[in-house]
Chain A
Amino acid sequence: MKKLNVSKGFLAMVYIVCIFLAALSIMPFLIMVINSTRSTVQIQQQAISLIPSSHLIENFKILTGKAFNPMRGFLNSAIISVGATACTVYFSSLTAHALVVYNWKLRQPFFTFILAVMMVPSQVISIGFYQFMYRIHLTNSFLPLILPAIAAPSTVFFMRQFMLSSLPLEIVESARIDGSREFHTFNRIVLPIMKPAIATQAIFSFVNSWNQLFLPLILLTRQEKYTMPIMVSLLKGDIYKRENGAIYLGLTLTVLPLFIVYFLLSKYIIAGVALGSVKG
């Protein structure tokens, strides 16, 4: 093994760079978390501190006094994200199943089509989408934020690739011999095999949906319907007095769930990024 043909100095530099970048990733969030426990006056006197203070509850009171309702936002975001994620993974698996298991005439054209529409971005259709939802009176509903997730081309692509490599068609055949109906076979036999792919895609779909701002911002007008990102986008606007401690706390509350999800599942997320890398 020739692994030691690099100098110690070079290796040290590598570590210094890595540690610097790690600090760069962590510092903004660390400042945010610590400042969320400090009072606005303290922050004004010294913007950076590594010692948490004792004004967390005070900040929370100011924050919730400003019509910022973290529980509500959390719940709304959760409903939308869970719904969208469930739709994405279930129906993408189903579509992939159709693409892999059955031999139908339009299969190849359909697949090519899915590849082609993979990059239709949501912003460019927003006007038509908004007008459509406005006309059918769904502007203050979560449905327009959940149902479109049924058609997620890139997830279908990923699921198809996974299925091709890990679903032996013999299993489907033998299920048929046992008299299992096709839909049943998909739900009871194929889906469990897809578990790893579902897990990866679920995480990304969830995070994506959780972080969305553009569509919710134009669709949801009622304060009770606001998602976390909308609430965040309104945090800065307080016309009479700037409460930095409360702003930091608001930001912290919005990312807390993401931090928890991320650090619990980071291994799968990183693996998922690598796995999905060929398609982005």
Chain B
Amino acid sequence: MRPKKLSYAKYGYIFSIPFVVAFCMFTLYPVIFTLVIGFTDFKGLGVTDFHFLSEPFKNFQQILSSPSFKTALKNTFVLWGLNFLPQILLALLLAAWFSGTLFKIKGQGFFKVVFYMPNIITAATIAILFSTLFGYPMGPMNSLLQKLGIIDAPYNFFQNKWWAKGVVSFIQFWMWYGYTMIVLISGILGMNTEWFEAAELDGASGWQKFFYITLPNLRTILIYTLVTSLIGGLQMFDIPYLLVSKSGPNNATLTASVFIYNQAFSGSYMYNRASAASMIMFIIICVLSAVVFYLMRDKYEAAAQKELKRAARQRLREEKQKARTGA
């Protein structure tokens, strides 16, 4: 049997070709190209030739010492902090309620669908929608607050930097808490039920079970969510770019991606500086990814297997049921 099986090994290589080719062309090559541009004097509209700089790290130095880039990174963390903490707390709370160890909520399916909904809507649309909702002086938000008597004159939200940051964070929170909740629910459901049964025999209350069993076992997923959301924050473009004309009051909502866009595709077309900024951002993301990768190494497989099996079983059950009712 063995030699015969070996003879099929070449298909492993053959079937991987499209992936490898596409990856090399559309990811690897651009990464290298971007890196190279970072060391050159490449700038200007419609220019295609460039030369390496005599001081190779000049662009990198320029970016690292540029206050705007620092602001962009700082904003990224501030915006992330403002949205992640409430997001994870709310998601945990909802996950605890919805995973059904304490009680059953009617209409769970509906709630999940509705909570997750903003996540699939085009970010560009959401940005424009919110900028219209918070419009000044006649936007819905202003008229609501005035009706409720909270303010007596229209307020121009996007002229205040904390409001601008707050709205961007809120949108992120609003778009992602449903997703985080579903992830956490599936994490909870994937846990070994024996632990809970044992705890129950020991007379543990629902909340005790949550704090002593559920939460510690969600650690990996929580860290995972944390890091991916941070990476997502670094990449955030559509919302800050469209919500408050480009970078908000006094660069309040300037993010790393908007910074790169401004460098490369508006104004002076400084591809070299933008590339250097991209690479710095890339390194930050690599470090963050390495953390995730390290944490996930083993748990990945085990968790995925279990989840998939559970889903497969359920599907089988459903199909059987369908077959039975159909017949």
B238 touches A26 (CB 8 A): no
State how many residues of chain A have any CB contact under 8 Å with chain B: 108
Give the residues in chain B near A11, CB-CB below 8 Å.
103
Q: How far is the CA of A118 from the CA of B116 in the complex (A)?
A: 23
> Min CB distance, A19 to chain B, in Å?
9
The segment out of B63-71, B73-81, B156-164, B179-187 that lies at the interface is B179-187
> Min CB distance, B183 to chain A, in Å?
4
- Residues of B103-121 contacting chain A, CB below 8 A: 103-105, 107, 109-118, 120-121
A6 touches B103 (CB 8 A): yes
Q: Counting CB contacts under 8 A, is B140 at the interface?
A: yes
A125 touches B34 (CB 8 A): yes
Give the residues in chain A near B30, CB-CB below 8 Å.
125-129, 132
User: Which of B121, B142, B282, B305 has a CB less than 8 Å from the CB of A124?
Assistant: B282
Q: Counting CB contacts under 8 A, is A275 at the interface?
A: yes
B303 touches A166 (CB 8 A): no
Q: Counting CB contacts under 8 A, is B83 at the interface?
A: no
User: Which of B142, B235, B315 has a CB less than 8 Å from the CB of A121?
Assistant: B235
Which residue from chain B places its CB closest to the CB of A196 in the assembled complex? B315
A48 touches B144 (CB 8 A): yes
Q: Counting CB contacts under 8 A, is A37 at the interface?
A: no
Give the residues in chain B near A106, CB-CB below 8 Å.
12-13
Q: How far is the CA of A151 from the CA of B186 in the complex (A)?
A: 27
Q: Counting CB contacts under 8 A, is A202 at the interface?
A: no
Give the residues in chain B near A121, CB-CB below 8 Å.
231, 234-235, 282, 285
> Min CB distance, B31 to chain A, in Å?
5
Which residue from chain B places its CB closest to the CB of A203 in the assembled complex? B120
B5 touches A103 (CB 8 A): yes
> Min CB distance, B163 to chain A, in Å?
17
B34 touches A48 (CB 8 A): no
B115 touches A25 (CB 8 A): yes
Given contacts A102-B12, A115-B293, A124-B278, whether A25 and B114 have CB atoms under 8 Å apart is: yes
A5 touches B206 (CB 8 A): yes
- Residues of B197-234 contacting chain A, CB below 8 A: 200, 206, 221, 224-225, 228, 231, 234
> Min CB distance, A205 to chain B, in Å?
12
Given contacts A24-B174, A279-B300, whether A214 and B12 have CB atoms under 8 Å apart is: no
A95 touches B19 (CB 8 A): yes
B186 touches A22 (CB 8 A): no
User: Which of A15, A182, A247 has a CB less than 8 Å from the CB of B132?
Assistant: A247
B26 touches A104 (CB 8 A): no
B278 touches A232 (CB 8 A): no
B113 touches A266 (CB 8 A): yes
Give the residues in chain A near B128, CB-CB below 8 Å.
232-233, 235-236, 247, 251
> Min CB distance, A118 to chain B, in Å?
8
List 11 contacting pairs A-B, 8 Å CB cutoff, sorted by A: A29-B121, A98-B15, A104-B10, A116-B289, A120-B27, A124-B281, A125-B31, A130-B264, A164-B305, A236-B132, A270-B113
Which 6 pairs from chain A and chain B are nearest by CB?
A: A128-B33, A104-B12, A102-B12, A128-B30, A128-B34, A274-B186
Mark B residues whose CB is within 8 Å of A.
5-6, 8-16, 18-23, 25-27, 29-37, 48, 90, 94, 97, 102-105, 107, 109-118, 120-126, 128-133, 135, 138-140, 142-144, 174, 178-179, 182-183, 185-187, 189, 200, 206, 221, 224-225, 228, 231, 234-235, 237-238, 241-242, 257, 260-261, 264-265, 271, 274-275, 278-279, 281-282, 285, 289, 292-293, 299-301, 303-305, 307-309, 311-312, 315
